[in-house]
Amino acid sequence: MCGIIGYVGTEDTVPIILEGLKKLEYRGYDSAGLAILDRGAVSVVKQKGRLTALEEALRQNPLTGHIGIGHTRWATHGEPSDTNSHPHLGSQRKIAIVHNGIIENHRYLRETLERKGVVFHSETDSEIVAQLAEYYHRGDIMDTVIRVTNALEGSYALGFLCADDPDKLIAVRKDNPLIIGLSDGGNFIASDVPAVLKHTNKICYLEDREIAVLEKDRVTFYSRDREVIHKTPETISWNFESAEKGGYKHFMFKEIMEQPRVLRDTIRSALPGGTNHAVIEALDIGRYSQIFFTACGSAYNVSMVGKYVLERLCRFPVTADLASEFRYRDAVIDARTLVIVISQSGETADSIAALREAKRKGADTLAIVNVVGSTIAKEADHTVYTMAGPEIAVATTKAFSAQLALLYLLAVRFARGLGRVTPPEEAALLADLEELPDQAEALFAHVDRIQQYAATCFNCKSIFFIGRNVDYAIALEGSLKLKEISYIHSEAYAGGELKHGTISLIEEGTLVVAIACTERLYGKTASNVEQVLSRGARVLFLTSSGETEETDCLSLLPIRPVSEWLAPSLSVIWLQLFSYYVAVYKGCDIDKPRNLAKSVTVE
Ligand code: AGP
């Protein structure tokens, strides 16, 4: 969590940093701040609260300069407050730093410095970096950065400014993302590409413990032993507009509406001529005895769909595991296991740890990632990219759909590899898949239907989601989406589980969202619906079957997939829209829900 940005160049730094921070706010929004180096002095303005609070503080106390660093915080050590905000300064105000990550030995280092008379101002783990830097500094900032990072344990992406070296911005990282943007008007550091896209699409990725020294007209990369490293910049295909709201009120809504395009691009990417095709074709399912999915949050929910779809289509053993559990549970995997890690950001700490654990055990690893050059993308043995483009809203929507599309394609590929489908059957499955984007598009013609229903739900205290098989996996996602942006308590249950306890919570007026798009299980879910209706619930029923009729308490949302196995891609869009409108009617902060951050880089 936390977003960092830095700039050195010919332009005025403050607007560039503020703009970059806006793009990084999804990573944390407890406080924000910036430091500018001008005429040999470092000035800091930082403020608890959203970026608008920092903008106001800068109106009171304007800064100018051509080199600076900025930060938007998701609090880990110390409450959100002005003093705990970044940038942090050393006691002599010579060195300023911004930090994303966690310094695990900060207590020990702090006590050591305090014994030597250093006075700390904040409760953060990050301040130790600034204090230590000033303590070690003997005039050579590179040397200082190396000594500081040698003393640190934990994870970090760091930006340094030093009054002794007023033309240089120094960056270093370990286990947290940091990109370097290169442009004619200056050079940038940032936690993520959208923060610099307005200025450049030429990006270099910093590897663990590498150091970048940025000046206005050059960037030099060093190893931790001070050897110069040559890097060739990559050109990012995302454009600036794709990271903008483009006239929509919220990023989440824009991203929901982008899904037909995202599905189309992602499906094409896996077909002959597409960028993911060669990687998918090269996977030899014959060398594996099992598949393990591991991921967090929504990406885990995609894994659940993947488990059901792959098992059914491929008749192959598949396990879906939360990355935070997988990393510690000593799973039974070996060189004959394919571990598939799914992640939008490619930087989720638990998913990275799960990937490393899988590799340590000798498994072959495949990453399904959205952010090019992210840690998971780089560390996996094989990587395929979802074509979602930058996803800004904290609640994922289009990345979820893109992950699902790649899973369908993998399932078809593996089914062929295992001889479970004949060539005509494979062609038919792919033809169904290629119709999916149009089907998603068609669904948007009925948005007002879900909007009207949501208008009757925003006062609910609790909402239950039920389904079986893939519909259960989508129920999990619907429930997660609702609670993260509307703060309404909700639970998802496999339909058959309801009567084993949870049904006691159903009372007059409780809302149950039921999903039944799996034909052979329709009757089972329909009878779960009857059970809750007879206990006073009202039900929103998403179904592909025409058997049920609407009543006062039972509202229908029809789903008409071209083929049953693709229904999750449509039902999830209804549920995303449902959560979105419920949160809108409740007046919630849709794109930046409380306590959350988009990229969870802490354990
Ligand atoms: C979903 O809306 C969430 N914001 C969250 O559950 C997310 O899916 C999870 O943190 C995993 O993130 P990743 O895909 O970037 O690894």
CA of 344 to the centre of ligand 1 (A): 7
CA of 193 to the centre of ligand 1 (A): 18
Q: Cα–Cα distance between 589 and 269 in angstroms, integer?
A: 34
Quickly list DSSP for 271-301: STTSTTHHHHHH--GGG-SEEEEEE-HHHHH
Closest ligand 1 atom, residue 598 Cα? 4
CA of 470 to the centre of ligand 1 (A): 19
Q: Kindly tell me if the per-residue pLDDT of 125 is higher than 70.
A: yes
179 burial via Cβ count (<10 Å: 0-12, 13-18, 19+): buried
Point out the least confidently predicted range of 59-68, 463-472, 545-554: 545-554
Q: Kindly tell me if the per-residue pLDDT of 189 is higher than 70.
A: yes
Give the CA distances from residue 372 to residues 355, 366, 367, 379, 478, in Å, rounded to whole numbers and listed in that order: 17, 14, 11, 12, 27
The answer to whether the 3-242 and 446-586 domains have the same CATH topology is no
Nearest to 235 by CA among 267, 196, 269: 196
CATH number of 244-443: 3.40.50.10490
Indicate the pLDDT class of residue 424, thresholds 50, 70 and 90.
very high
Q: Kindly tell me if the per-residue pLDDT of 371 is higher than 80.
A: yes
Closest ligand 1 atom, residue 348 Cα? 16
CA of 282 to the centre of ligand 1 (A): 28
**Residues 433-482: tens digit of each pLDDT:** 999 999 999 999 889 899 999 999 989 999 999 999 999 999 999 999 99
pTM of this structure: 0.80
Q: Is 2 a catalytic residue?
A: yes
Indicate the pLDDT class of residue 64, thresholds 50, 70 and 90.
very high
Indicate the pLDDT class of residue 414, thresholds 50, 70 and 90.
very high
Q: Kindly tell me if the per-residue pLDDT of 28 is higher than 90.
A: no
Q: Cα–Cα distance between 37 and 96 in angstroms, integer?
A: 9
Predicted pLDDT of residue 598: 77
Domain boundaries, the chain: 3-242, 244-443, 446-586
Q: Is 396 in the pocket of ligand 1 (CB under 6 A)?
A: yes
Closest ligand 1 atom, residue 399 Cα? 14
Q: Is 299 in the pocket of ligand 1 (CB under 6 A)?
A: yes
Q: Kindly tell me if the per-residue pLDDT of 10 is higher than 80.
A: yes
Q: Kindly tell me if the per-residue pLDDT of 115 is higher than 70.
A: yes
Predicted pLDDT of residue 421: 97
Q: Name the CATH superfamily, with its identifier, for domain 3-242.
A: Aminohydrolase, N-terminal nucleophile (Ntn) domain (3.60.20.10)
- Exactly one of 48, 94, 168, 598 is catalytic; name it: 598
φ/ψ (deg, to 5) at 5:
-145, 150
Q: Is 343 in the pocket of ligand 1 (CB under 6 A)?
A: yes
CA of 590 to the centre of ligand 1 (A): 15
H/E/C letters for each residue in 480-513?
Answer: HHHHHHHCCEEEEEEHHHHHHCHHHHCCCCCEEE
Q: Is 460 a catalytic residue?
A: no
Q: Is 576 in the pocket of ligand 1 (CB under 6 A)?
A: no
Coil, strand or helix: which one is 593?
Answer: coil
Q: Cα–Cα distance between 392 and 66 in angstroms, integer?
A: 28
- Exactly one of 2, 204, 314, 457 is catalytic; name it: 2
Which has the higher per-residue pLDDT, 199 or 246? 199
**Residues 270-319: tens digit of each pLDDT:** 999 999 999 999 999 999 999 999 999 999 999 999 999 999 999 999 99
Q: Is 394 in the pocket of ligand 1 (CB under 6 A)?
A: yes
Q: Kindly tell me if the per-residue pLDDT of 329 is higher than 70.
A: yes
Q: What is the average pLDDT value for the chain, to the nearest integer?
A: 93
Q: Is 484 in the pocket of ligand 1 (CB under 6 A)?
A: yes
Q: Is 590 in the pocket of ligand 1 (CB under 6 A)?
A: no
Indicate the pLDDT class of residue 240, thresholds 50, 70 and 90.
low
φ/ψ (deg, to 5) at 344:
-65, -55
Q: Give the other-Cβ count within 10 Å of 396's Cβ.
A: 28
Q: Cα–Cα distance between 447 and 248 in angstroms, integer?
A: 15
Nearest to 148 by CA among 99, 217, 84: 99
Mutate which of 192, 300, 345, 484 for ligand 1? The one with the most ligand atoms within 8 Å of its CB, which is 345
CATH number of 446-586: 3.40.50.10490
Q: Is 478 in the pocket of ligand 1 (CB under 6 A)?
A: no
